[in-house]
């Protein structure tokens, strides 16, 4: 027998789940990370591999994650433990949940720093700092900002407090309303930015950069990063989607929900690219600017377009909300576990988890300035946490989820949970989850470390 509800709360409707999961997926990953990584790895071929990974690996794994979460109805650690026991398999499967906890801490620690940037940019846009400013001035504003640890710390702190406040109250209340209005608004603003990008005279260059694959640029690392971007952007492989699945009613269609969530997520990323790259080329900037790309490019548009001061302010504000709804889902698996196993109430659990993230985040923000010399594998802490989580821990988590859902969980259980009969859709999913997803992730890993 499987539980029909979670002790942590339930989504009020199918729509609430879709909104929350889309809120988790759509965030800095789409608007900050996707454009800058695509820029770094040369555009077209990277984007193509990313989209293939979303379709062939991301969608089946997202279905599996929701399915496992809904069957276990607990934090990812206890869900994996319970499901493994049900199938008579070793308790070691709970390590998957532990890995997710580590990923959650590491991702949120740098995520919060970047979210802090977007908050700071709300204020800058509102103050008219970008008005009529050229690319050079705007670049200098960014460089000056990240060189200042105190300002970064202030914004990182404010953001983490906001995240803890929501998680402490329980994610099912509040989140739904926020996402219902703010996501569509963000989407509309992105469309307006794309229209602006069309007027820059370099729209065709931007489109061609994103969609003309040049496979000579596709190193093993580029493929790994494209796959990592798919995992990161879809919030897969660390238990965020699993825990959200655990709050989903048993009646709702997992496949249908997943396609909507993944479709919206990719659409937002592509729109962000279409808004940014034409401006990059029109300004004669390089697409491989690194993590500052969005913050150095979009303000140019806000500084020039009519009403740009208001528009830029609202845009960054919506980006803060998008980051917030993602950050909440990063903290939730940890908090749920603290409540289940440590007997904490939600307030104490959220505060403790939030404090830990906050401390780790300080190492990230210092790595941008005073600790810029401190490097591990040639990367500062922020870049290291980002690389290791997106490109190693999340795909590894996803691989284990695929193996569990495809090989360990009984066929009857997945047929029952996915509830689409044994027709083509189910058979396709099973093929993808048993063979395509795990083998593809393994090949990309081996290729990246140059085994072949």
Question: Shortest gap between Cβ of 373 and ligand PHE (angstroms)?
Answer: 29
Other beta carbons within 10 angstroms of residue 382's beta carbon come to 22
Among 166, 167, 197, 238, binds ligand PHE (CB under 6 A): 238
| Distance, CA of 341 to CA of 339 (rounded, Å) | 6
Question: Shortest gap between Cβ of 332 and ligand PHE (angstroms)?
Answer: 9
Phi, psi of 215 (to 5 degrees): -70, -15
Return the percent helix, strand and coil in the chain, to nearest 5: 75, 0, 20
Q: Does 325 bind ligand PHE (CB under 6 A)?
A: no
| Distance, CA of 132 to CA of 300 (rounded, Å) | 8
Residue 262 or 301: the one with the smaller Cβ distance to ligand PHE is 262
Residues 350 and 164: beta-carbon distance below 8 Å = yes
Question: CB neighbours of 435 closer than 8 A, spacing ≥ 6?
Answer: 406
- Side-chain half-sphere exposure of 51, counting CA atoms within 13 A: 15
Residue 141 or 175: the one with the smaller Cβ distance to ligand PHE is 175
Among 36, 110, 159, 232, binds ligand PHE (CB under 6 A): 232
Residue that the structure tokens 């919060």 belong to: 112
Q: Does 329 bind ligand PHE (CB under 6 A)?
A: yes
Stretch that binds ligand PHE, among 2-10, 165-173, 193-201, 227-235 (CB under 6 A): 227-235
| Distance, CA of 212 to CA of 361 (rounded, Å) | 37
Question: Shortest gap between Cβ of 28 and ligand PHE (angstroms)?
Answer: 4
Site for ligand PHE, residues 88 to 127, rule: CB under 6 A = 107
Residues 415 and 422: beta-carbon distance below 8 Å = yes
Question: CB neighbours of 285 closer than 8 A, spacing ≥ 6?
Answer: 135, 296, 297
Question: CB neighbours of 359 closer than 8 A, spacing ≥ 6?
Answer: none
Stretch that binds ligand PHE, among 143-151, 168-176, 275-283, 322-330 (CB under 6 A): 322-330
Other beta carbons within 10 angstroms of residue 292's beta carbon come to 17
Size of the site for ligand PHE (CB under 6 A): 15
Residues 162, 168, 173: CA angle, nearest 5 degrees: 90
Q: Does 240 bind ligand PHE (CB under 6 A)?
A: yes
Question: CB neighbours of 256 closer than 8 A, spacing ≥ 6?
Answer: none
Residue 29 or 303: the one with the smaller Cβ distance to ligand PHE is 29
Question: Shortest gap between Cβ of 402 and ligand PHE (angstroms)?
Answer: 17
Q: Does 28 bind ligand PHE (CB under 6 A)?
A: yes
Closest chain position to ligand PHE (CB): 29
Residue 233 or 309: the one with the smaller Cβ distance to ligand PHE is 233
Among 19, 20, 22, 29, binds ligand PHE (CB under 6 A): 29
Question: CB neighbours of 134 closer than 8 A, spacing ≥ 6?
Answer: 300
Question: CB neighbours of 55 closer than 8 A, spacing ≥ 6?
Answer: none
Residue 228 or 303: the one with the smaller Cβ distance to ligand PHE is 228
Q: Does 27 bind ligand PHE (CB under 6 A)?
A: yes
Nearest Cα to 327, choosing from 335, 339, 338, 315?
335
Question: Shortest gap between Cβ of 205 and ligand PHE (angstroms)?
Answer: 26
Question: CB neighbours of 38 closer than 8 A, spacing ≥ 6?
Answer: 46, 47, 50, 210, 229, 273, 287
Q: Does 330 bind ligand PHE (CB under 6 A)?
A: yes
What binding mask, one character per residue, do residues 338-367 give for ligand PHE by CB under 6 A, x or -?
------------------------------
Residue 200 or 326: the one with the smaller Cβ distance to ligand PHE is 326
Question: Shortest gap between Cβ of 136 and ligand PHE (angstroms)?
Answer: 29
Question: Shortest gap between Cβ of 41 and ligand PHE (angstroms)?
Answer: 17
Residue 138 or 240: the one with the smaller Cβ distance to ligand PHE is 240
Residue 141 or 276: the one with the smaller Cβ distance to ligand PHE is 276
Among 16, 19, 21, 25, binds ligand PHE (CB under 6 A): 25
Q: Report the interface residues with ligand PHE, using CB under 6 A.
A: 24-25, 27-30, 107, 232-233, 235, 238, 240, 326, 329-330
């Amino acid at each position: 027998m499987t539980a029909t509800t979670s002790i942590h709360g339930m989504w009020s409707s199918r729509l609430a789940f879709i909104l929350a999961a889309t809120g988790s997926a759509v965030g800095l990953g789409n608007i900050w990370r996707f454009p800058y990584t695509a820029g770094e790895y040369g555009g077209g071929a990277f984007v193509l591999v990313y989209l293939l990974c979303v379709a062939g690996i991301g969608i089946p794994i997202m279905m599996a994650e929701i399915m496992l979460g809904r069957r276990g109805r607990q934090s990812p650690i206890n869900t994996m433990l319970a499901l493994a026991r049900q199938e008579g398999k070793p308790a070691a499967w709970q390590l998957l949940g532990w890995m997710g906890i580590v990923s959650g801490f590491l991702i949120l620690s740098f995520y919060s720093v970047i979210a802090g940037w977007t908050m700071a940019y709300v204020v800058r846009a509102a103050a008219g700092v970008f008005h009529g400013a050229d690319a050079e001035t705007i670049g200098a504003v960014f460089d000056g900002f990240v060189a200042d640890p105190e300002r970064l710390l202030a914004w990182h702190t404010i953001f983490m407090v906001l995240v803890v406040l929501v998680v402490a109250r329980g994610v099912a209340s509040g989140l739904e309303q926020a996402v219902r209005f703010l996501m569509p608004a963000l989407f509309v603003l992105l469309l307006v930015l794309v229209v602006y990008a069309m007027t820059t005279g370099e729209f065709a260059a931007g489109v061609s950069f994103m969609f003309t694959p040049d496979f000579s640029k596709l190193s093993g690392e580029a493929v790994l990063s494209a796959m990592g971007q798919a995992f990161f952007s879809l919030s897969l492989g660390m238990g965020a989607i699993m825990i959200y699945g655990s709050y989903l009613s048993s009646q709702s269609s997992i496949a249908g929900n997943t396609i909507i969530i993944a479709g919206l997520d990719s659409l937002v990323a592509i729109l962000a690219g279409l808004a940014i790259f034409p401006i990059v080329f029109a300004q004669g900037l390089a697409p491989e600017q690194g993590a500052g790309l969005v913050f150095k490019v979009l303000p140019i548009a806000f500084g020039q377009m009519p009403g740009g001061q208001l528009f830029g302010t609202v845009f960054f504000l919506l980006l803060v909300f998008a980051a917030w709804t993602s950050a909440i889902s990063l903290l939730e698996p940890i908090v749920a576990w603290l409540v289940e196993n440590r007997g904490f109430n939600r307030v104490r659990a959220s505060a403790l988890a939030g404090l830990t993230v906050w401390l780790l985040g300080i190492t990230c923000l210092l790595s941008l300035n005073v600790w810029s010399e401190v490097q591990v594998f040639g990367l500062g802490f922020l870049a290291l946490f980002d690389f290791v989580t997106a490109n190693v821990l999340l795909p590894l988590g996803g691989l284990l989820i695929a193996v569990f859902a495809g090989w360990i969980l009984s066929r009857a259980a997945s047929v029952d949970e996915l509830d689409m009969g044994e027709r083509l859709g189910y058979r396709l999913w099973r093929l993808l989850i048993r063979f395509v997803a795990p083998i593809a992730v393994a090949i990309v890993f081996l290729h990246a470390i140059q085994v072949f």
